[in-house]
């Protein structure tokens, strides 16, 4: 059992006064003053509109923002109280803003949300990102109702995204999660989830709060835990996902390190589970599906191909330790190809990811070096994918991802055979 | 004549014979110790290397990057064999000391005392060299990957320089530990390193001003380009 984090006395007092609640919506934040007001308003409206008969709590778990995020939340709460509603809620919506303790990161913010959920003995929880621009009150209903009325434990988001949006998800996380755990959860690291009070208590009981899970690995950890430990999982169609522009200083190799590192570490934890899964099934999808126009995304394919070529040339010694010879030779061959003929076949990409997973597990080289060295190859895949989409049209992008997933599943035996406990 | 013969030849020969007879047990002992030492050293080498191979010591060394260092430094393909040979060498050294002890106790005692006093320094120096090689390799690879991911041209030479610098530093520290050319080494290293840095600084700042500007400009441009892979949101 993990140690329990101490709640702030003020928050503990508020919780004691509230005693218990039916639903909790958590909003982890860190310097999101620009967008969080919209999120708080949408969540409050969602609770008031779709769950007027239940006791609801909105919790902002803040990582020590310096841009006035918590003040904006307080302002937004006052505005939310003046919402025009046809049917007024039976109970007032309680709103709490509190800083979290522990390792700075989204995971620690979530830990506090799980803790409050356990304290209030809620039936259902939802968490939404504080940088969302496309959230509507309907998101609250879509993330909570499958839990309250259909008996699901975990609701993963399903968004309409631009083909070039979420490329780590498309190339590695989605295909690998689906292949390993046998359920097709399209956005395993979407950031907005619903989960039952039972699952929140289960999460809280895990001793992971001093690892990378406490930082940025929380999304994939939640999804994988729910899938691997047989909780009932579904998806909710939320429409488009638009958020604040990305942080220009965010480093791609650090992102790969955190996200892919979390997936690979969880593979070690659940090796006994995924080794016995041989195919995948669709995951139920809730919500009315509709097409949405996504914002255009500019890409620089030449730069990505150049990065791939430099990686193949300069990191050849590392790749020789990680990749099996046929993949290595093909990568070297691809690095010589002209830009317009540049295409990484699905089978090659699958073997690349499997070889990296095996190298991570068998500690062939330092794990951080291994994951950071994946960056040029990943950029090569993105370039290959973008060129393919440009040739075939954006409407074929999803089919292209499905084909890649099928290749991952077909070749799973290779991973199982070479994985040594 | 007879007395002269007795004093000049027979008595010295007798004394020599006595000395030889007195010394023979020591000689036999030395030969015996040598043979036993050689056999024991060979046996220990075999046992140690086989035992380490059985517990997958080679794989452990490969993972730690020690195997490459051993290959480069010790010229042995197998880390287990290298460890076995190390033990063999140590036992041979002990044998040599014991043989000396048997043949010339007074010389050996001095030698042994000096050797024992020197032993910790050898150990520390060996650790510094192996540690330096490992740290150099690790830092070199860190720089290489970071430079490639930042699209910096000449990533490999850059990583090589870092690795070489750490290696040189560790050898200087190790040799200083052994007391070999202590002052000369430190001064040489200081002058050499300081000289290189000063020369580069002057060349970069003055003589090759345009070239330096070109390089810095290209690095800055590439950094910008690196950021400009587009507006892709990866997760």
Q: Please tell me the distance in Å from A288's CA to the nearest CA on chain B.
A: 24
Q: How close, in Å, is residue B68 to chain A by CA atoms?
A: 12
Inter-chain residue contact B65 with A246, CB threshold 8 Å? no
Tell which wins on pLDDT, A311 or B26. A311
Q: Which residue of A has its CA nearest to B222?
A: A303
pLDDT at B74: 47
Q: What percent of chain B has pLDDT over 70?
A: 81
A166, A255, A379 member nearest B229 (Cβ): A379
> Is the predicted pLDDT of residue A384 greater than 70, yes or no?
yes
CB A61 within 8 A of CB A28: yes
Q: What are the beta bridge partners of residue A125?
A: A24, A195
**Whether B151 and A310 lie within 8 Å, measured CB to CB:** yes
Q: Does B218 touch chain A (CB under 8 A)?
A: no
Q: What is the nearest CA distance from A159 to chain B, expressed in angstroms?
A: 13
Instruction: Report, in this order, helix, strand and coil percent for chain A, each rounded to 5.
Output: 55, 15, 35
Contacts of A363 in chain B (CB under 8 A): 63
Confidence band (pLDDT; 50, 70, 90) for A248? very low
Which residue on chain B is closest to A359 by alpha carbon? B63
Measured in angstroms, the CA of A369 and the nearest CA of chain B are apart by 7
Q: What is the pLDDT of residue A306?
A: 92
| Helix (H) or strand (E) run with residue B164 in it | helix B155-178
**pLDDT of A78 over the 70 cut:** no
Inform me whether the C-beta atom of residue B144 falls under 8 Å from chain A C-beta atoms: yes
**Cβ-based contacts under 8 A for chains A and B:** 94
Residue of A297, A314, A363 with shortest CB distance to B144: A314
Place of tokens 């841009």: A67
Residues of B in contact with A315 (CB under 8 A): 144-145, 148
Which ipTM was obtained for this model?
Answer: 0.85
Instruction: Assign A276 to helix, strand or coil.
Output: coil
- Burial pattern B96-116, b for ≥16 Cβ within 10 A else e, equals bbbbbbbbeeeebeeeeeeee
Q: Which helix (H) or strand (E) holds B82?
A: helix B79-103
pTM here is 0.79
- What was the pLDDT predicted at B196? 78
In contact, A363 and A325? CB cutoff 8 Å: no
The pLDDT, as a whole number, for residue B208 is: 65
| DSSP-H helix ranges across A160-217 | 167-168, 174-181, 197-204
Q: Tell me the mean pLDDT in the region A221-244.
A: 92
Smallest Cβ distance to A166: which of B225, B230, B235? B235
CB contact under 8 A, B149 and A253: yes
Q: Among A214, A47, A213, A199, which Cα is nearest to A118's?
A: A199
Convert the pLDDT of each residue in B67-109 to its tens digit: 666 655 545 567 888 888 888 988 998 898 888 888 877 777 7
Residue A1 has pLDDT above 50, yes or no: no
How far off is chain A from B46, nearest CA to CA, in Å?
A: 28
Residue bearing tokens 């620009």: A34
Q: Summarize pLDDT for B39-66 with one digit per residue, the tens.
A: 999 999 999 999 998 888 887 777 666 6
How confident is the prediction for chain A on average, in pLDDT? 88
Instruction: Say if CB A64 and CB A28 are below 8 A apart.
Output: no
> What's the pLDDT tens digit per position in B148-176?
999 888 899 999 999 998 998 898 888 88
Q: How far is CA A159 from the centre of its chain?
A: 12
Q: Which of A65-74, A238-247, B162-171 has the lowest mean pLDDT?
A: A238-247
Nearest chain B residue (CA) to A315:
B145
Please tell me the distance from the alpha carbon of residue B40 to that of residue B33, in angstroms, as a whole number: 10
Per-residue confidence at B223, pLDDT binned at 50, 70, 90?
low
pLDDT at A6 over 90: no
């Amino acid at each position: 059992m993990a140690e329990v984090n101490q709640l702030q006395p003020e928050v503990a007092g508020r919780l004691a006064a509230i005693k218990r609640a039916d639903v909790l919506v958590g909003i982890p934040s860190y310097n999101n003053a620009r967008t969080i007001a919209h999120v708080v308003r949408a969540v409050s409206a969602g609770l008031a509109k779709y769950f007027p008969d239940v006791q609801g709590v909105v919790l902002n778990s803040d990582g020590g923002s310096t841009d006035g995020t918590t003040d904006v939340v307080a302002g937004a709460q006052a505005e939310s109280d003046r919402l025009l509603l046809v049917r007024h809620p039976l109970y007032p919506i309680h709103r709490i803003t509190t800083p979290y303790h522990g390792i700075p990161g989204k995971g620690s913010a979530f830990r506090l949300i799980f803790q409050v959920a356990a304290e209030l003995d809620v039936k259902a929880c939802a968490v939404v990102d504080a940088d969302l621009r496309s959230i509507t009150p309907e998101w609250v209903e879509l993330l909570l109702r499958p839990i309250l009325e259909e008996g699901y434990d975990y609701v993963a988001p399903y968004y309409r995204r631009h083909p070039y949006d979420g490329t780590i998800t498309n190339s590695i996380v989605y295909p690998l999660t689906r292949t390993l755990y046998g359920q097709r959860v399209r956005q395993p690291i979407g950031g907005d989830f619903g989960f039952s009070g039972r699952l929140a208590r289960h999460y809280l009981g895990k001793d992971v709060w001093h690892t990378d899970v406490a930082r940025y690995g929380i999304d994939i950890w939640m999804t994988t835990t729910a899938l691997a430990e047989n909780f009932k999982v579904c998806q909710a169609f939320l429409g488009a996902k638009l958020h604040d522009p990305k942080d220009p200083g965010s480093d791609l190799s650090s992102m790969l390190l955190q996200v892919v590192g979390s997936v690979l570490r969880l593979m070690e934890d659940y090796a006994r589970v995924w080794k016995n899964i041989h195919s995948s099934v669709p995951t139920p999808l809730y919500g009315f599906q509709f097409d949405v126009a996504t914002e255009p995304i500019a890409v620089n394919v030449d730069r990505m191909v150049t990065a791939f070529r430099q990686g193949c040339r300069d990191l050849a010694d590392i790749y020789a330790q990680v990749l099996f010879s046929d993949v290595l030779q093909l990568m070297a061959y691809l690095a010589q190809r002209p830009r317009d003929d540049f295409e990484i076949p699905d089978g090659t990409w699958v073997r690349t990811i499997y070889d990296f997973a095996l190298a991570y597990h068998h500690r062939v080289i330092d794990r951080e070096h291994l994951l950071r060295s994946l960056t040029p190859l990943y950029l090569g895949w993105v370039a290959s994918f973008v060129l393919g989409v440009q040739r075939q049209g954006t409407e074929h992008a999803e089919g292209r991802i499905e084909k890649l997933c099928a290749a991952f599943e077909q070749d799973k035996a290779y991973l199982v055979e070479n994985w040594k406990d | 004549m007879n007395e002269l013969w007795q004093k000049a030849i027979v008595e010295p020969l007798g004394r020599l014979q006595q000395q030889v007879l007195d010394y023979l047990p020591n000689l036999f002992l030395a030969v015996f110790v040598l043979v036993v030492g050689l056999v024991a050293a060979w046996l220990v080498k075999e046992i140690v290397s086989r035992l380490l191979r059985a517990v997958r010591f080679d794989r452990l060394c490969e993972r730690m990057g020690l195997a490459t260092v051993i290959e480069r430094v010790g010229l042995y393909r197998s880390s287990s064999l290298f460890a076995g040979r190390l033990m063999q060498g140590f036992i041979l050294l002990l044998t040599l000391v014991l043989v000396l002890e048997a043949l010339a106790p007074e010389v050996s005692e001095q030698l042994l005392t000096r050797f024992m006093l020197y032993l910790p320094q050898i150990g520390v120096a060996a650790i510094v060299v192996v540690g330096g090689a490992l740290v150099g390799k690790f830092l070199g690879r860190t720089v290489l990957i970071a430079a490639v991911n930042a699209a910096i041209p000449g990533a490999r030479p850059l990583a090589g320089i870092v690795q070489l610098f750490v290696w040189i530093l560790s050898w200087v520290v190790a040799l200083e530990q052994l007391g070999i050319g202590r002052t000369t080494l430190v001064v040489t290293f200081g002058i050499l390193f300081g000289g290189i840095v000063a020369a580069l600084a002057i060349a970069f700042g003055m003589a090759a001003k345009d070239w330096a500007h070109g390089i810095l400009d290209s690095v800055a441009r590439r950094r910008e380009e690196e950021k400009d892979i587009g507006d892709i949101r990866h997760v």
